[in-house]
Structures are given as structure tokens and as C-alpha cells.
Structure 1
Amino acid sequence: MSGADPLLFSAFAEHWLLTAFIAFARLGSATLLLPGFGEQAIPPRVKIAFGLVLTLALMPILPIPEPPAALPLFVLLIGLEVMIGIFIGLGARLLLAALHILGAQIGFAAGLSNAFMPNQSNAESGSAIAALLMAGAVALLFATNLHHVILSGLLRSYVILPPGRIIPGDMADQVARLGAGAFYIAATMAAPFFLLSLLVNLGLGVANRVMPAMQVFFVAAPGLIVLGLGVLALTIPALLDLQIEAIADWYRTFVR
């Protein structure tokens, strides 16, 4: 009896580790992309550590299947879980990209674009306005407790997408819809700035025709920046509210 105890403990530990690895495959991969948790400024070690803590906290209530005995089946299950986790995190990341597009449009309209401005949520550079909008969206995400909805959606994803089962056609369709939705949201929110840019540039064109000797660009640039910032100050609450609501709707689809 005493000789069987170490073997029993070893088998239990092995089963628990394999089950935890299956759970971490989805939760950990999603954590790398989740808004607020997977930002570019957060070190990778912190993201992985949060994924491990989240996995350990949710494991008792997760419907994790028995780990396959065959190694190829186990590797296939891990790969499918990673794909599902990336899909869940990528959905919100695509919607959040609308602010990156919007910031670039506002920067061009207000003359505030800078190719050397780092972006807080993406590896590529962006405008100062995009960085401001991204930081505001992440702050609002936690201020409105939207991260609770995100974690609930991640937990409920096991009901809609059981472990080891994916629907490639529907997942690809959802990614395409989210990408199109991001451009639609960006175009909708940037409409006032498009109108501002059109009117200002038309006015500059008329002024240049009337007074060809005047340096219209240098005279109008400060006014254009002030107008752009003024419109941004008036619209930024609505912009962030619309963006946060779009992300919340994406994760509510898993909760419903």
C-alpha cells in the first residue's frame, strides 16, 4: 500500500499538469491579446504570469476534457485551444484598432501626425492622438469594469466553443466582420474631422488664390491644430464610449 502511494500521487500530478496545460493554452493565448491585459507596454513575463494565475483561478470550474493518451492527439488539442484563445483576443484587438485608425485620421486632419510617436497597443508607430485615444480606452475599460465582462466572456467561451472543437468558417467570418466593423467605426467617429479638414483646406485654397504671396500653410497651421484639438475635446467622450460599447458587445456574445 505504501509503495502504491507515490505512483498514485505521480499519476495525479501528471493528470493535473496536463489539464492545466490544456486550460492555459486557451486562457494564456487570449491574455496576450486581450485589451488592457495584452497591451504592448506590458512585459511578456507579466502577461504570461497573469495567464497562469487566471488559469489556476478558473480551472476548478472549467469543462476541461480528459487529456488524450496519445501524444499527437494531445498536441492537436493544444493547437486548437491556442487558436480559440487567439480568436477570442483578436476580436477585441481588431475593434480596438479602430482607435488607431481614427487617431491617424485626426492627426492628419489636425496636423499632429508624427511617424516617430510610439503606440501603446501596437508595435508600429502612431500619432500622438492615437496614443491618447488608446490610453483613454484602456483606462475607461477598467473604470467601467468592462474587464469583468471580458473575463466572463472568456469563461463562457467554453460553452460556445468546447475544448478541441472549432468552426473555421464561422470564425473566419467573424474576423472579417470585426475587421470591417473596425473600419466602419473609425470612419463614423472620424466624420467630424473629415468635415473639418475639408472646410479648412477649401478655405486655404481660396486664400492662396486670393493672396498667392502669403505663406498660407504657416499662417493656418496653428489655427488648424487648435480647431482639431477643440473638436477632439468635444467629441472624445462619445468616441471612447462608442469604442468601449463595441468591445463589450463582442464579449457579450459569449456571455449570452
Structure 2
Amino acid sequence: MSSLVPEFWTPYELSFILVLFRVAALVSLLPALGEASIPARVKLVMSVCMSLIVFPIVHDVSQNSLAGANWLSAAIAEVGIGLWFGFMLRVFVFCLQIAGSIAAQSTSLSQILGSAGAEPLPALGHVITMAGMTLALSLGLHVSAVQYLIGSYTILPTGQLPDISTISEAGVAQIAWGFQLAFSLAAPFFILSLLYNLTLGVINRAMPQLMVAFVGAPVITAGALVLLAISIPVILKTWAGALFGLLNSGVIN
């Protein structure tokens, strides 16, 4: 063990602390529980509670992997692994935010009701994001996150530094897939915007004297809100299915 570690700490306690490092790093980026609006004390309590569940299951793996390893290096590796696994889940939040921004810009709802929250998103983006976070928690996000953490020890045991090239490729692939999912979720609003602009163009050519902007603005706003009410169950179902598919599989896309 490293000389930086207090002598009164037993290997059992050191193993728990390393588990806590990984869990706390992941919780800091976990959807819903890792939001900037969540107090740090709440995140800390959640990290300790989840560590108490994870540690008895992965204790043997953690102890075997830690044997003969430098404790400080293992601690740094655990924080990095937790942040990386948390980032893979955080991409799903980015999906909702990007989808909401695309939908708002496509349907002229980017400024309606202004912007609220810690991140500069249009109101429609906040509605979709908060709905997704609420659905994830109601479906047992915390339980699936514990299973995801336990599975992470099979992929990357305690103290094992990940291969940079492997995690870089996986991270790029996850981000690319996230943009693809975001555009798919916002596709109904993009199609509505396309049809709206084509219709306005035809009307403007047929009746140049008509102020189509004054007629079309209320139509696209009302149509976008109606489309949101109709499509948001499908959007959230698709998003939640992808999120829990990754959490329950325990593997990385």
C-alpha cells in the first residue's frame, strides 16, 4: 500500500473507499441524480447509500484486484472509471436536450416562456428533459444504476487503468449514436416545420398580398404544442428504452 494511506486503515476500509470513489464519480454525472440543481449533500448521501449496496457484492473482486497495487494510483483510476461510465449515461441527457432544442428551433418555440434552469435551454427542451428525468426515476433508475455499477467491475476491476484507445473509440461511438437518437426524437417536429414552410411558400406565391407570417405564426405554435402532446409518450418511451437497455445490459455500446 502507498505510504500516503493512514496506517490505521484496514484493507477492508480501503476497498470500501475505492468503491465509494467510483460510485460518487458516476453519481455526479448520473441522469436526474447528477443534475446541477441537486445539492452536493444529496449526491454524497446517494453515493454512500449506493456504495453500501455495491460493496458487499464486489468486495472479493475489489480485494483481489487491489492486492499489491498502489492505493493512490488505484484511487485515481477509480475516479476516472466512474466518470467515464457516468459520461456514457450522461449522453442520454444530452440527447433529450438536443432533441428539445431542435424541436424548439424548428417550430418557433425557442423563446416561448423564456428559459429556466441551470442550463440555457428553450422551454420546450426543459419540458422534454424534465419529463425524461421524471420517467427514468419512476422506472427505477437508481436500482438499474446499482446493477450498472456492479457490472462495471466485470469490465474494469478495481485499480485497473482502462485502455485509452478503447474508451476513446467507445466514447466517440456513444456521442455519435446520441446525436442520431436526438435527431430521431425531434424528427416529428422537423417534419412539421418542413411542411409548414412549404405550405407558407405555396400560399405566399398564390396570394402575395397576404401577410402569411401573421397567419402562420399562431398555426405553427399551436401545431407544435399539439404535436408535443401527441408525440411525447413515444419520445419518452424510445428514450427510456435506450437508457435502460444500456443500464441493464451492463456493457458499453
Structure 1 position 172 matched with structure 2 position 168: yes
Match of 1:77 among 67, 74, 78: 74
RMSD: 2.4
Partner of 1:4: none
> What does the per-residue CA deviation read over 1:195-214, in whole Å, with 9 as the maximum and x for residues that have no partner?
11011112222333344444
CA distance in 2, matches of 1:89, 1:46: 17
User: Within 5 A, what are the aligned runs for 1:134-149?
Assistant: 134-149=129-144
> What does the per-residue CA deviation read over 1:49-74, in whole Å, with 9 as the maximum and x for residues that have no partner?
2212322343222232376788xx32
Match of 1:88 among 82, 85, 88: 85
Structure 1 position 112 matched with structure 2 position 109: yes
Contact 1:33 1:39 in 2 (8 A): yes
TM-aligned CA deviation for residue 240 of structure 1: 0.4
CA distance in 2, matches of 1:245, 1:198: 28
Structure 1 position 31 matched with structure 2 position 21: no
Gaps of 5+ in 2: 1-5
Matched letter for residue 21 of structure 1:
I
Contact 2:54 2:149 in 1 (8 A): no
> What does the per-residue CA deviation read over 1:151-201, in whole Å, with 9 as the maximum and x for residues that have no partner?
111122111210122232222222111111111111212222111101111
CA distance in 2, matches of 1:125, 1:53: 32
Q: Among the aligned pairs, what percent are the same residue?
A: 31
Partner of 2:3: none
After the TM superposition, which parts of structure 1 deviate over 6 Å for at least 4 consecutive aligned residues? none
Structure 1 position 132 matched with structure 2 position 144: no
Contact 1:189 1:239 in 2 (8 A): yes
Distance 1:228 1:96, change over 3 A: same
Which stretch of the first structure deviates more once superposed, 211-220 or 33-42? 211-220
CA distance in 2, matches of 1:83, 1:11: 25
CA distance in 1, matches of 2:73, 2:229: 50
Matched letter for residue 153 of structure 2:
Y
CA distance in 2, matches of 1:45, 1:79: 22
Aligned residues: 242
CA distance in 2, matches of 1:154, 1:75: 21
CA distance in 1, matches of 2:208, 2:142: 55
Which stretch of the first structure deviates more once superposed, 224-233 or 202-211? 202-211
CA distance in 1, matches of 2:111, 2:226: 19
Match of 1:45 among 37, 41, 45: 41
Which stretch of the first structure deviates more once superposed, 58-67 or 140-149? 58-67
> What does the per-residue CA deviation read over 1:120-160, in whole Å, with 9 as the maximum and x for residues that have no partner?
xxx53001111111111111112222432221111221112
Structure 1 position 241 matched with structure 2 position 233: no
TM-score by length of 2: 0.86
TM-score by length of 1: 0.85
Match of 1:19 among 15, 33, 45: 15
CA distance in 2, matches of 1:109, 1:191: 10
Structure 1 position 218 matched with structure 2 position 214: yes
TM-aligned CA deviation for residue 14 of structure 1: 4.8
CA distance in 1, matches of 2:199, 2:251: 50
Indicate the SS of the match to 1:65: helix
Match of 2:97 among 97, 100, 121: 100
CA distance in 1, matches of 2:41, 2:211: 52
